[in-house]
């Protein structure tokens, strides 16, 4: 099948040349997506009629807009008015929000076609997309492997050429980790840069929506659309949004890139290690300098994250009780039975595990030892970065310690699963912007990603350095859908 989504630009040219009514294009795109998705399962349900209907109301002026007619997948935790938004959880079966997320509205205002409800680990709890109540999504590079997670469906949809780009959410790496494993670009903006309104919360202080794209230019264009203050989200920051596309094609000569020793540990597989050291050479060739830095509290990041994340999640998910909407245990005889039955049937294993963990961490007598201590560690981790950014402009690390693993491989071992986010978690704890860009292939032709992190609200630094790297390497030109 033709790869019409090499970039948003090439797709738009294709669209222009085809010169068909938008309605026909939309039907074509839906057909095309469904056909590819048979072997990927990036979507459990595509509400085609609704997509056609939304396209038909795009205003006359829409044609000139930045994303006119561009199909964009949104993760199943990003609300779209009247459309199924279930977080791949049984407990939200049939839930159709009466509102859209701010990011979705912004995309639609630019003329985008929203393919909502991309598959994910239930409530974004997971790193493999196996935690979906509708079954796992497959990695387009090797369908026996996981695409990463939790934004696995959205990412696989981009990598498989089902859509031009996607929006995911990243709480501990859920955009960057699958982007690395699927060979695409995944960007987590600074906490507060993008409105969370309409993003079904996992951990409110860590969650951030970001783009998943085929290349850095698309990423900059998407970010430009979705970033900015939103009065509906008190945690969004009221600061001017730069034109991210202006940071493309910039010279990175003299840029200082920090290499933290704590990120080059024994657990990294050789494929990843080799790709990263090749990448560092590319940066040097482009005139960037590398600086050895230390982020001494890195080793506490995973534990810290698995206290704060679940603590917030346990409270955020308390509302799913069968009373007001979503799944209800119909056999319950009283209120308590209804609570217990609905939640027991509605949540999957990982959700239950995290709710229990979080409830425990907030319980009286444990709060100080767990939650409060984790908050202190979080501050230390953020301080590490502040210190490091005194001597460098951005920090380069592997995105993940390994390439995509086999479906089922880590399902029974939550700790091993948690460790696949070991390099991505710190950026969430510190609220930093971070991006994963393709930097090569390991055994079995499996993609490897490199991660760049920058100071809060310095997304441009990431766009600039990631783009320079991308433009001087060939990895991003090799697509899973071309295999």
- The two structure tokens encoding residue 11: 């797709």
CB of 348 to other proteins, least distance (A): 16
Mapping DSSP to helix (H, G, I), strand (E, B) and coil, where does residue 167 land? strand
- Is position 306 an interface residue for other proteins (rule: CB under 8 A)? no
Among 359, 347, 348, smallest CA distance to 312 is for 359
Site for other proteins in 230-269 (CB under 8 A): 231-235
- Is position 311 an interface residue for other proteins (rule: CB under 8 A)? yes
Q: Which stretch binds other proteins (CB under 8 A): 179-187, 196-204, 261-269, 435-443?
A: 196-204
Mapping DSSP to helix (H, G, I), strand (E, B) and coil, where does residue 147 land? coil
Q: Which is nearer to other proteins, 10 or 235 (CB)?
A: 235
- Is position 362 an interface residue for other proteins (rule: CB under 8 A)? yes
Pick the binder of other proteins from 110, 170, 218, 312 (CB under 8 A).
Answer: 312
- Give the whole-angstrom CA distance, residue 345 versus residue 400: 33
Mapping DSSP to helix (H, G, I), strand (E, B) and coil, where does residue 75 land? strand
- Is position 190 an interface residue for other proteins (rule: CB under 8 A)? no
- Is position 473 an interface residue for other proteins (rule: CB under 8 A)? no
Alpha carbon 42 to its chain's center: 14
Q: Per-residue x/- mask for other proteins, residues 215 to 234, rule CB under 8 A? A: ----------------xxxx
Q: Which is nearer to other proteins, 87 or 439 (CB)?
A: 87
Q: Which is nearer to other proteins, 68 or 371 (CB)?
A: 371
- Give the whole-angstrom CA distance, residue 109 versus residue 240: 19
Do 291 and 310 form a contact (C-beta atoms < 8 A)? no
Q: Per-residue x/- mask for other proteins, residues 98 to 127, rule CB under 8 A? A: xx-x--------------------------
Q: Which is nearer to other proteins, 154 or 295 (CB)?
A: 154
Q: Per-residue x/- mask for other proteins, residues 56 to 85, rule CB under 8 A? A: ---------------------xxx-----x
CB of 330 to other proteins, least distance (A): 13
Q: Helices 349-362 and 301-316 sit at what angle, rounded to 10 degrees? A: 100
Convert 302-332 into a string of H (helix), E (strand) and C (coil).
HHHHHHHHHHHHHHHHHHCCCCCCCCCCCCC
Pick the binder of other proteins from 11, 95, 187, 423 (CB under 8 A).
Answer: 95
- Is position 201 an interface residue for other proteins (rule: CB under 8 A)? yes
Instruction: Give the other-Cβ count within 10 Å of 60's Cβ.
Output: 6
Residue in 44, 75, 100, 436 annotated catalytic: 75
- Is position 203 an interface residue for other proteins (rule: CB under 8 A)? yes
Which residues, in sequence order, are CB contacts of 29 under 8 Å at separation 6+?
71, 113
Residues, the chain: 483
Residue in 150, 342, 436, 465 annotated catalytic: 150
Residues in contact with other proteins, counted by CB under 8 A, come to a total of 44
- Give the whole-angstrom CA distance, residue 188 versus residue 209: 7
Phi-psi region of 122 (alpha: psi -120 to 50; beta: other; left: phi over 0): beta
- Give the whole-angstrom CA distance, residue 68 versus residue 55: 10
Pick the binder of other proteins from 14, 264, 367, 441 (CB under 8 A).
Answer: 367
Phi, psi of 325 (to 5 degrees): -165, 175
* 8, 14, 15, 19: CA torsion to nearest 10: 160
The DSSP 8-state label assigned to residue 78 in this structure reads B
Pick the binder of other proteins from 36, 73, 87, 133 (CB under 8 A).
Answer: 87
Q: Residue 128 catalytic?
A: no
CB of 198 to other proteins, least distance (A): 5
- The two structure tokens encoding residue 413: 């071992």
CB of 110 to other proteins, least distance (A): 21
- Give the whole-angstrom CA distance, residue 213 versus residue 166: 6
- Give the whole-angstrom CA distance, residue 131 versus residue 234: 30
CB of 107 to other proteins, least distance (A): 16
Phi, psi of 366 (to 5 degrees): -115, -15
Q: Which is nearer to other proteins, 293 or 311 (CB)?
A: 311
Q: Per-residue x/- mask for other proteins, residues 136 to 175, rule CB under 8 A? A: ----------------------------------------
Q: Which is nearer to other proteins, 318 or 369 (CB)?
A: 318
The DSSP 8-state label assigned to residue 62 in this structure reads G
Q: Residue 174 catalytic?
A: yes
CB of 227 to other proteins, least distance (A): 17
Pick the binder of other proteins from 263, 339, 423, 469 (CB under 8 A).
Answer: 339
Q: Which is nearer to other proteins, 66 or 382 (CB)?
A: 382
Among 462, 441, 460, smallest CA distance to 452 is for 462
- Give the whole-angstrom CA distance, residue 231 versus residue 233: 5
Catalytic machinery residues: 75, 150, 174
Using CB under 8 A as the criterion, which residues of the chain lie in contact with other proteins when the complex forms?
77-79, 85, 87, 92, 95, 97-99, 101, 196-201, 203-205, 231-235, 311-312, 314-315, 318-321, 323-325, 335, 339, 359, 362-364, 367, 371
């Amino acid at each position: 099948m033709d790869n019409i989504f090499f970039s948003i630009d090439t797709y738009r040219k294709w669209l222009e040349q085809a010169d068909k009514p938008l309605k026909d294009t939309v039907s074509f795109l839906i057909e095309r997506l469904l056909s590819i998705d048979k072997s990927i399962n990036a979507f459990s349900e595509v509400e085609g009629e609704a997509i056609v209907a939304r396209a038909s109301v795009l205003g006359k002026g829409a044609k000139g807009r930045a994303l006119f007619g561009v199909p964009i997948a949104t993760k199943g935790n990003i609300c779209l008015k009247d459309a199924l938004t279930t977080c791949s959880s049984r407990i939200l079966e049939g839930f159709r929000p009466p509102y859209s997320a701010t990011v979705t509205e912004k995309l639609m205002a630019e003329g985008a076609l929203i393919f909502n409800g991309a598959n994910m680990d239930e409530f974004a709890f997971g790193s493999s997309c196996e935690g979906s109540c509708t079954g796992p999504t497959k990695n387009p590079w090797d369908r026996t492997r996981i695409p990463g997670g939790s934004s696995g469906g959205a990412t696989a949809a981009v990598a498989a050429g089902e859509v031009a780009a996607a929006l995911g959410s990243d709480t501990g790496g859920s955009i960057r980790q699958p982007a690395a494993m699927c060979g695409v670009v995944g960007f987590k903006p600074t906490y507060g840069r993008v409105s969370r309104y309409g993003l079904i919360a996992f951990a409110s202080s860590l969650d951030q929506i970001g783009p998943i794209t085929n290349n850095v230019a698309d990423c900059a264009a998407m970010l430009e659309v979705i970033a900015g203050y939103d009065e509906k989200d008190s945690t969004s920051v009221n600061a001017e949004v730069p034109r991210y596309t202006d940071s493309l094609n910039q010279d990175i000569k003299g840029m200082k890139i920090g290499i933290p020793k704590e990120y080059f540990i024994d657990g990294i597989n050789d494929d990843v290690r080799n790709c990263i050291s090749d990448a560092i050479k590319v940066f040097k060739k482009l005139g960037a300098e590398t600086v050895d830095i230390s982020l001494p509290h890195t080793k506490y990041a995973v534990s810290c994250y698995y206290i704060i994340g679940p603590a917030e999640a346990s409270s955020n998910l308390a509302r799913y009780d069968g009373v007001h909407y979503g799944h209800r245990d119909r056999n319950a005889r009283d209120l308590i039975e209804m609570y217990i039955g609905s939640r027991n049937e509605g949540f999957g294993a990982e959700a239950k595990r995290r709710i229990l963990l979080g409830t425990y961490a907030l319980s009286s007598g444990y709060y100080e030892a767990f939650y409060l201590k984790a908050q202190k560690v979080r501050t230390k981790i953020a301080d590490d970065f502040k210190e490091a950014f005194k001597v460098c402009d951005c920090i380069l690390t592997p995105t993940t310690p390994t390439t995509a693993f086999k479906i089922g491989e880590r399902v029974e071992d939550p700790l091993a699963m948690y460790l696949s986010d070991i390099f991505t978690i710190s950026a969430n704890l510190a609220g930093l912007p971070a991006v994963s860009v393709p930097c090569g292939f390991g055994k079995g032709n499996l993609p490897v990603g490199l991660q760049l992190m920058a100071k809060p609200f310095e997304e441009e630094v990431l766009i600039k350095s990631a783009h320079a790297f991308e433009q001087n390497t060939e990895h991003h030109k090799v697509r899973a859908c071309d295999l």
